[in-house]
Structure 1
Amino acid sequence: MKIAFVGKGGSGKTTLSSLFIRHLAAAEAPVVAVDADINQHLGTALGLTEEESAALPAMGAQLPLIKEYLRGSNPRIASAESMIKTTPPGAGSRLLRVREDNPVYDACARRVALDGQPVRLMATGPFTESDLGVACYHSKVGAVELCLNHLVDGPDEYVVVDMTAGSDSFASGMFTRFDMTFLVAEPTRKGVSVYRQYKEYARDFGVALKVVGNKVQGTDDVDFLRSEVGEDLLVTVGHSDWVRAMEKGRPERFEQLEAGNRAALRTLQDAADESYARRDWVRYTEQMVHFHLRNAESWGNAKTGVDLAGQVDPSFVLGEQRGATPRPSPQPA
């Protein structure tokens, strides 16, 4: 299943996403972790040094390889150059799976051992000097969206994405790629403002959204969050000596995390598992196509010189068992 962590800058979403990844790894679940934030801190939150984190390969720099691999033998895609970030898979496309080895993971992922349990870590890559003033960050995040569109995930495997801060996630259709979006909010007016914006933008797309209250110090903070976000408040997290040690680069073994915080992480996993069980593969594919056609008309056709609507395979539905399942034929009236 695919899970996103979002929130305003400084809310603690990277810390909570790293704790959730460690929680899954401790349960020996297969995990692909993706740092899609413009501020690349997930690697260090997972225990890498600053140098090791900076050395992670940038997915944005590998976009030609990613496109060529995913294109496969799809006859609707004439070349990798004609693919854009929203290009959907079709018959002949290569699909990614969490547990496999493939050239995309070889080029873009590195294995990180968390208390001996490995997870795959990928990163969009930070802004470079050549990007300043001429590029937007969404050109880098496009590599993540393309991979998510071609990724077949099952109920017992996890893709966890630390998203860019604020409502920037809505600059593409990637916000619809997740079975569960956890919005990390502090118990302040600024802390819940991103929630209101996210809720409004997502309401027409069936996005499963739950709020994780962070930096909560007492019942007054919980009451404030409940009054602002209602039933969307899933769980709250308070101070953690374990996290403080981790941020100093001296974490204990994950089993030493406070019992209350371990219980909160189990609640997150249960909510994500329940949401995945309701995934509608037909709707999931239709949303992918919807945003592809919008991007094609807005800028993609002009940029590539191709009518990108022709990349849509109307008989293809991404599916869990074989990678793709036939789209149901219309029933006669």
Structure 2
Amino acid sequence: MRVAFVGKGGSGKTTLSALFSRHLARSGAPVVAVDGDINQHLAQALALDQHEAFAAPPLSARTGEIKDYLRGTNPRIPSRDAMIKTTPPGRGSRLLRLLGDDEIHTHHLQEVGGVPLMVTGAFDESDLGVSCYHSKLGAVELYLNHLVDGPGEYIVIDMTAGADAFASGLFTRFDMTFLVVEPTRKSVSVYRQYRDHAAEFGIQVSVVGNKVTCEDGLDFLREHVPDDLIAHCEQSPYVRAHEQGRTQGELEPHNLRTLDRMRAAVDARGKDWTTFQRHAVEFHLRNATAWARESTGQDLVTQVDPEFQHGPVALAAASA
């Protein structure tokens, strides 16, 4: 299951992404965490020392090589230059298993705090005034487009803040979207904006309240997020100590129960490969006609393989 964490900047989505990833990993579940935020802090939230560098190369540094690998022998994609971030897989494409022995997982994963982690890559000086951060997220979108995750497997992605995720079709690549909301009017405003955009595409969001310090804060969330609130986290001395570099102690019982509720909500969500494929094709056709034809000089509409149906059957056929 693909799980995204979104929300207002500073709401705590990176912290919750890390807590949820570690919670899954400690249970023995196969999990991969992906830092897809412009502020690349997930490694530190997972316990990477501030003086230690994340050694695995960022996905955005090898987008060309990733394209070459994923397109495989697909005749509809003759070169990496003909492949854009929304290009869907087809017959001949390489499909991925979670934590598989493939070029992407073996090159880009590093275990941090017991969690296998991949990072998108920071927005550096050479990008200023030239590109937007969503160009770096293209490698993540390609990865998710070609991944066939199975039952009991999890991909946890810390996304960009606010409604920036709607700048691409990446928001449709998830099975579960957790919107982290503080008990403030600004945070609720971001929730409403995200909820309304997502609803246009049939995407459901589930709200996790965060930084709740009193009953008044919880009542505020219940009033303003009446239908989507599934759990909340109380202010956490454990998290504060962890952020200060003191890793002693354990997460508080209430917050631990919240992580359990979140996992139960994810596990209860069915996998819908048909809708996943429909969204992939829809957003690729949008991009192909809006800018990619002019940018590449090719008609990328023809990259859609009408006979291809994503999911375990396609993976089995590709592996045969």
Shorter-chain TM-score bucket reads: over 0.9
Question: How does 1:1-333 map onto structure 2 within 5 Å?
Answer: 1-114=1-114, 119-252=115-248, 256-275=250-269, 277=270, 279-323=271-315
| CA distances 1:83-140 after superposition (whole Å, capped 9, x unpaired) | 00000000010011113121112222212242xxxx3211111111111111110000
| CA distances 1:232-282 after superposition (whole Å, capped 9, x unpaired) | 0111111112111210122136xx21111110001010111111x2x3211
The alignment of Structure 1 onto Structure 2 pairs a total of residues equal to 318
Going from structure 1 to structure 2, the CA distance change for 1:211 and 1:44 (only over 3 Å counts) comes to same
% identity of equivalent residues: 58
Deviation at 1:6?
0.2
Asked whether the 8 Å contact 2:308–2:314 carries over to 1, the reply is no
CA distance in 2, matches of 1:320, 1:6: 28
Going from structure 1 to structure 2, the CA distance change for 1:229 and 1:169 (only over 3 Å counts) comes to same
CA distance in 2, matches of 1:222, 1:143: 38
Deviation at 1:56?
4.3
The runs of 5 or more residues in structure 2 that have no matched partner are: none
Which letter maps to 1:20?
Answer: F
Q: TM-score, normalised by structure 2?
A: 0.96
For the aligned residue pairs, the C-alpha RMSD in angstroms reads: 1.5
Which letter maps to 2:2?
Answer: K
The runs of 5 or more residues in structure 1 that have no matched partner are: 326-333
CA distance in 2, matches of 1:106, 1:24: 21
Q: TM-score, normalised by structure 1?
A: 0.92
Which letter maps to 1:250?
Answer: R
CA distance in 1, matches of 2:316, 2:280: 14
Asked whether the 8 Å contact 2:86–2:280 carries over to 1, the reply is yes
| CA distances 1:129-172 after superposition (whole Å, capped 9, x unpaired) | 11111111000011101111111011200000000001000000
Which residue number in structure 2 is paired with residue 328 of structure 1? none
Deviation at 1:50?
2.7
Asked whether the 8 Å contact 1:60–1:143 carries over to 2, the reply is yes
Going from structure 1 to structure 2, the CA distance change for 1:51 and 1:304 (only over 3 Å counts) comes to farther
Which residue number in structure 2 is paired with residue 330 of structure 1? none
Asked whether the 8 Å contact 1:2–1:158 carries over to 2, the reply is yes
Asked whether the 8 Å contact 1:31–1:160 carries over to 2, the reply is yes
CA distance in 1, matches of 2:169, 2:44: 28
Asked whether the 8 Å contact 2:56–2:107 carries over to 1, the reply is no
The runs of 4+ residues in structure 1 deviating greater than 6 Å are none
